[in-house]
Structure formats: structure tokens, C-alpha cells
Amino acid sequence: MERFRRFIQFISAFVANSRLWITPSNPIYTGPIKQICFPGLNCYSCPAAISSCPLGALQNVLASLKMNLQLGKPGLGLYILGSLGMMGAVVGRAPCAWFCPFGLFQDILYKLVPVPKLPFWRPLAWGRYVFLFLFVIILPVFVLDAAGFGQTWFCKFICPAGTLEAGLPLLAIDSGLRSAVGALFFSKLALLMLFIMWSMVNHRPFCRAVCPLGLIFGLFNRVSWLQLRFNRDVCVECHACEIICPTGVSFADGRDDINSTKCIRCMRCFNLCPGGAITVEFSKTRRRSRGEGCTCHQEQG
Amino acid sequence: MKDRLPLYIFLLFLIIFLLGVLLGEPRDVFQKGVTICLSCIGIN
């Protein structure tokens, strides 16, 4: 299944960035598919991107919220929230593992760069809440300019995916933009370098410590149609699931729920577990175990 | 009730999504998406 997931990740990254004819006079795609929010962090200012980033779109809506309300215009982000919520209700945070191009980028760095791997400091996971509530919601809504518009704080000051997928390619194809590069861009470039180096020693550090989109999907993990279940009674306590988990979910020792907001539903634990203690459930009554058909009503530990 | 919670949540967000579509929000997403916001990616 791991090879299949990798295949889907590459296909997804290609589909999201399938505009191949790029010219300086027409640097980004302007066709109708840009109305669709891609379920992953994929900057819509990327020259190859054909869809929109839900996080960027959400920030733009929130930054214009006060002005839209004053003018009586619709623009509450219902379309974006609905898109994210429908995806989350079905598969929870699975898009992070299966679709997100920036997740794939981190996976490749971690796997291919032969440097010693380090443990991830777990409290950093709380950073996701800070970035979601402060940089995506509070600052864009409440810090406004004289005209009453906010800024896309996360995109502007944090997002390394935007620097990688949009900032650097746009500077490469449009020499006129290079004179506009200043301290802000270099600080974002430094952040990107930090995450690149961090990804070599920790698996998916951006997803684990920063990504607000991953947190939004992760909040659905416990109530989504797709559920993982852990049966402690058949666990052989080999802790292979914790070692293999790219986001460090520690459910075997009880520190985390198996459907915690950290879980990206990559299914590596499900595939690896020698005792079959991890099952995948698509509803409350029918459950699929690895290597067998559906079983019914097994009580979980 | 608990068995059908994912379905209810999906339907709730489907309604929210359709409301957004009816209010023309995809057009707003499109308008932002087809404009390069240089300041949004740290170039200004």
C-alpha cells in the first residue's frame, strides 16, 4: 500500500501542477479550474498550479470579511469551508498523506537524504493551533489597513510552500520581479531552508508543527467516516507502529488517540502491525482488517 | 445517532458548500486565484 500511496502522491502533485506551458507574459493559469480548492497545500500563485489553495483562499475571504459585511456582499468563505468539511467528514486528514504536494516534498527529503534522524519534540505540535487561529483567522480578520482590508498573514510571513512553488519559480521566469525582492522574501527563503533541513532529520516537521490546513482536516479525524481502530488485546507491544508513523502518533502506549489530529491516515501502521491490532473502519458496523474481509462488532481496547 | 455522525457532518458541510456556491463564492476564489498577489508570497 505504501507504493500505491506514493504513486497517488506523485499523480496528485502532477495533477495539481499540470500547467506545463508557462511564459513570462502569462505566468499563472487563469482558467475555470482555479475556482476549485485543491485538498492540499499547493500555492495558487505557482505558475504550474491549476487549482486554488484552500488556506490562501480562506485567508483572502477573512481579510476581506469586514469590508464585505459593511458592503452587504456575500463572502463568508462558505464554499471553502464546505469543501474542506466534506473532505474531512469522509476521510479526515488523509489528504495530507495522499494528495498534498508539500507533504510529498517532505517525505522525499526525509527518505532520500542520508543523515541521522532525530526525535521530534512533541510539544511543537501545539504550534499548529497557533498558526491556524492566529495567522489564518485572528490576524487577517482583526489587523486591518486604512481601507479596511486585512492581510494573508500565513501566506505572507510563513508559508514555505508558497516560497517553493510560487516565489522562486516566478522570480525564475520573470526577471522584472527580482528588483522587488526584499527582506521579507529572504526571511521566507530562510524559513524554507529551515524546513528543508528539518525535513531531513524529522519526518514531516511542517505537517507536525505548523500546517493549519492539516489541523483543519485533523479536527475531523475522530468523527470522519474513515476511522482507524486499535485493539490493545492483540497488540504484541513491538512499537513498530510508533517507529514507522510519519507524524509520531503514539497510541500503543496511550499517549495519543489513534484518530488524533496528528494522524494523516497514511496507513503505514495498519500495513506493518504484525498482530493485526490496527483495523480500518468505514462505518461503525463494518470493519476491514489487514488480509481479511469485513468483521463485525469487535470491541476495541 | 453516533453511527450516522459522519453522514450528518458531511451533509452539514454539503449544505454550507452549496450555500457558498449559490452566493457566488467560487467566483471570489477564482478572482483571487488568477491574480498573482506578490505581497502574499513575500515579494513587494
Phi, psi dihedrals of residue B20, rounded to the nearest 5°: -60, -40
Mind listing the pLDDT tens digit for each residue in A2-20?
899 999 999 999 999 998 8
Q: What was the pLDDT predicted at A195?
A: 97
Side chain identity at A276, as an amino acid letter? G
Cβ <8 Å between B13 and A30: no
Which chain B residues contact residue A32 at CB under 8 A?
A: 30
With a cut of 50, say whether residue A295 has pLDDT above it: no
Nearest to B41 among A43, A90, A220 (CB): A43
Mean pLDDT of chain A: 89
Residues from chain A contacting residue B36 (CB–CB below 8 Å): 27-28, 45, 166, 170
Beta pairing class for A278-281 and A227-230: antiparallel
Q: Do B41 and A78 touch (CB under 8 A)?
A: no
DSSP state of A298: P
Is pLDDT at B32 greater than 90 in this prediction?
no
Taking an 8 Å cut-off on Cβ atoms, the answer to whether B43 and A177 are in contact is: yes
pLDDT digit string, tens, across residues A80-109: 999 999 999 999 999 999 999 999 999 999
Q: What is the pLDDT of residue A8?
A: 96
DSSP labels, A11-64: HHHHHHT-----BTTB-S--SGGGGSBPSS---TTSTT--SB-HHHHHHHHHHT
Q: State how far the Cα of A116 lies from the Cα of A281, in Å rounded to an integer.
A: 36
**Number of other CB atoms surrounding residue A180 within 10 Å:** 13
A291 vs A196 pLDDT, higher one: A196
Helix axes A78-91, A54-63, angle to 10 degrees: 140
The shortest C-alpha distance from A80 to chain B (Å) reads 7
Cβ–Cβ of B29/A34 closer than 8 Å?
yes
pLDDT per residue as tens digits for the range A260-282: 999 999 999 999 998 889 999 88
A174 vs A144, residue with greater confidence: A144
For chain A, the first-to-last Cα distance in angstroms comes to 25
Q: Terminal CA-to-CA distance of chain B, rounded, Å?
A: 52
Q: Which residue has the higher pLDDT, A204 or A71?
A: A204
Q: What is the pTM of this model?
A: 0.91
> Which of A263, A254, A256 minimizes the C-alpha distance to A219?
A263
The distance of A262 to chain B (nearest Cα, Å) reads 19
Residues A224, A229, A129: CA angle, nearest 5 degrees: 50
pLDDT at A220: 96
- Residue A237 CB: number of other CB atoms within 10 A? 10
